[in-house]
Structure 1
Amino acid sequence: MFTYQLNEDLYLRMYTINDAEALYNLIDGSRDHLKKWLAWVDYNTDVEASRDFIQSTLKGVSETGGYPKTLGMFYKGELAGTVGFNEVNQNHQYATIGYWISEKFQRKGIVTEACRGIIHLGFKEMGLNRIEIRAASANKKSRAIPERLGFTKEGVLRQVEIVNGEFYDHVVYSMLASEWLKKES
């Protein structure tokens, strides 16, 4: 099973079917917090829905050239949220990253470190050239992640997503492999 240790307290791990109940409970416990920005939250209504999600992520391994597309973020052994590649295009060597974290685990640097880890994986292991992060323009916490990691703000996609009947603009951020490798050295 794929596990990626980021520091003493934090690791990323590929989901297994056995994680379905913990995943559902984490979502359910943060439902109000998450649903403001994420349209899928209302569709995850039971453990079976989480199980279906996990099964779909396991199928996504082929899109990434053998790497897990979606990973659980585990902080001190407890599931804290999800980070992963929402889209991977091997032909053009780019991917988009998505993430969410339970309200309980915010303000610990977990998402920033998890993104740093998956970015490293994308550039060093998967051979990607470009990684994007898109965040709703009003979601300041989510936008802080790419800004903190030194991504370039490219622009705004107007009314690109609908959540709870409201259209959201997305700010698009990008990082190129050459830029990331300079930061790491």
Structure 2
Amino acid sequence: MFVYKMDEDLSLKLIDLRDADSVFELTENSRDYLREWLPWVDSTVKVEDTKAFIQSCVKGFADNKSLTTVILYQAEIVGVAGFNSIDWSNKIASIGYWLGDKYQGNGIMTRVAKALTDYAFTELKLNKVEIRAAVDNLKSRNVPERLGFVEEGTIRSGEWIYDHFVDHVVYGILADEWVK
């Protein structure tokens, strides 16, 4: 079982079906907050939807194509983060994340993204990590900016969210930049 402990309060654990009830409850409790930027919230209406998501995450991990974890803060699941994709041929990982609304403002996601980036470079020996965020999602954009990622460009109409497209800002950092 993959567990990545950052400190006494914060760790990442490979998501599994035993987490379904907690992840679904967190989604339910943060539904309005999450819906603004995440296109899957309205289609997650019962715990079985979360179980299906987790099963796809487990398969992605087994196929060595992704790594999805729950964020444990003081032993409680407070969000989900990981590598949405790992491109082994080009040595690039793409980080995705979300956090329950009542856990915002504690620096959790910046610490999580830092740990994932460290892991990508030191353990997986990748060359690049990317983070994409909607142009107007300032909280999400602040994470890679705080960590020194480079703004590489904008993907126009990068994601459909319910009834409109949003542009995505692409951030990236290379292994040799991270070490510095």
> What is the TM-score normalised by the length of structure 1?
0.94
Which SS does the other structure have where 2:45 is aligned? coil
Q: Does 1:143 align with 2:122?
A: no
Please, which runs of 5 or more residues in structure 2 have no aligned partner?
none
* Cα distance, 1:64 vs structure 2: 3.5
Q: Does 1:14 align with 2:7?
A: no
Q: Call closer, same or farther: CA 1:90–1:63 in 2, change over 3 Å.
A: farther
Q: Does 1:109 align with 2:93?
A: no
Alpha-carbon distance between aligned partners in 1 of 2:16 and 2:68, rounded to the nearest angstrom: 11
* Cα distance, 1:63 vs structure 2: 4.4
Aligned 1:76-115 pairs, distance under 5 A: 76-115=74-113
Which SS does the other structure have where 2:82 is aligned? strand
Deviations 1:92-112 (A, max 9, x none): 100111100000100011100
The amino acid across from 1:129 in the alignment is N
Q: Which residue of 2 aligns with 1:2?
A: 2
The amino acid across from 1:94 in the alignment is I
- Give the alignment partner of residue 171 of structure 2, picking from 161, 170, 173: 173
Q: Call closer, same or farther: CA 1:64–1:149 in 2, change over 3 Å.
A: farther
Please, which runs of 5 or more residues in structure 1 have no aligned partner?
none
Deviations 1:43-74 (A, max 9, x none): 11111111111111111114437xx6100001
Aligned 1:61-80 pairs, distance under 5 A: 61-64=61-64, 69-80=67-78
Aligned pairs, number? 180
Q: CA RMSD in A?
A: 1.1
Aligned 1:125-140 pairs, distance under 5 A: 125-140=123-138
- Give the alignment partner of residue 160 of structure 1, picking from 158, 161, 166: 158
